[in-house]
Amino acid sequence: MLSKIKESLKNKKALNFEEAVFLFEKIDLMELREIAHEIKFGKNKDIVYWNKNLHINPTNICIGQCKFCLFSKEENQKDAYLLTYQEILDKIQTVKHFNIKEVHIVGGLNPKLSLEYYLRLFEEIKKLDLKLHIKALTAPEIDFFAKKENITIEECLKKLIESGLNSLPGGGAEIFSERIRILYCPSKIPAKDWLYIHETAHKLGLKSNATMLTGLGETTEEKIQHLFLLREQQEKSHGFQSFIPLVRHNKQGSILTAVEILRNIAVSRLILHNFEHIKAYRVQLGNKLTQLALFFGADDIDGTVIEEKITSQGNYKFINEEEIKKLIQTSGFTAKERNSLYEEIEI
């Protein structure tokens, strides 16, 4: 089985279901690491990407009620918030000395908000004239606003693009298994709608990312089904830039062990042969596990982020540009700053 898998990988052939099960369940972790690292190396040598970005979560008020969510609040709950335009613009102005290139904007499904809030927000951000790339709104948020406005997904995306949207993040995919969605997030859009929104965005010229949330009691088969659906979508619309394996957290931290996390990263690298980048999301993994993940197929660690509320509950520790580069370099890799479209930034 292993030699057949290696042969398929060498010929850039998609792995089949049986081979994917073997990688998740049978192969020794160190052997898996070696293969994933070789594939990563074949794609982008010893380079590990990072960027200068700022995360902004305009509101945590959400009607979603996903059981794994540590971020959302009901409108009347303590700590529920909705930021004004000025508060968001001030956040950006406060950190502009970091020379950020991207704002990553995602939030809750706040019933008080209309699409107009984001249209104007994007216009105001562009008016700052800081050449910021706006990566914003998960597929469930796009779906929420399209339904509220009674317009199609395509019309909704076109309006957002006109106001300054430059790409989509990969959140809201969770895990595509209907069984898990019923248990944890029954009101969330199903897999086919998530994929359709990304396909439409790709058709309109936007790039996007993809994610998979694990730690929800998913089976190996459910993880493979999720990855295969992403791989098929990429074959059709070619717009995914990176895949980000996410891990469910509770108040104490990650639900998965380090070994499970590393295996998910490595197998994703091997199954998603048509994805250029696999991200070790430093905010969730912490610095040490992120360094380790670079040997398991990951080639990106996200960026400066600056502020994070979704998984870290405000406990995210900011590290600056020099510390990010050091983290990559001391692992033995070459650190390359990229923009939001994975173009290298010349210093």
In the complex, which residues of this chain contact ligand SF4 (CB under 6 A)? 62, 64-66, 69, 71-72, 108-109, 140, 185
Cβ distance to ligand SF4 smaller for residue 198 or 269: 198
Cβ distance to ligand SF4 smaller for residue 107 or 297: 107
State the nearest-atom distance from the C-beta of 107 to ligand SF4, in Å.
7
Cβ distance to ligand SF4 smaller for residue 110 or 166: 110
Q: What b/e readout covers 2-18, taking b as 16+ CB neighbours within 10 angstroms? A: eeebeebbeeeebbeee
Instruction: Measure the CA angle with vertex 50, ends 105 and 129; round to 5°.
Output: 50
State the nearest-atom distance from the C-beta of 72 to ligand SF4, in Å.
4
Cβ distance to ligand SF4 smaller for residue 35 or 185: 185
Q: Which residue is nearest to ligand SF4 (CB)?
A: 64
Cβ distance to ligand SF4 smaller for residue 75 or 221: 75
Residue 208: φ, ψ to 5°: -150, 175
Q: What is the DSSP letter of 106?
A: -
How far CA 142 is from CA of 110, 120, 209, 217, 234, in Å, comes to 12, 15, 15, 27, 20
**Could you tell me which of 322, 73, 345, 70 has the C-alpha nearest to residue 213?**
70
Q: What b/e readout covers 325-337, taking b as 16+ CB neighbours within 10 angstroms? A: bebbeebebebbb
State the nearest-atom distance from the C-beta of 25 to ligand SF4, in Å.
29
Cβ distance to ligand SF4 smaller for residue 186 or 205: 186
Q: What is the DSSP letter of 316?
A: P
Beta strand 249-250 with 253-254: parallel, antiparallel or unpaired? antiparallel
Rounded Cα–Cα distance for residues 246 and 262 (Å): 11
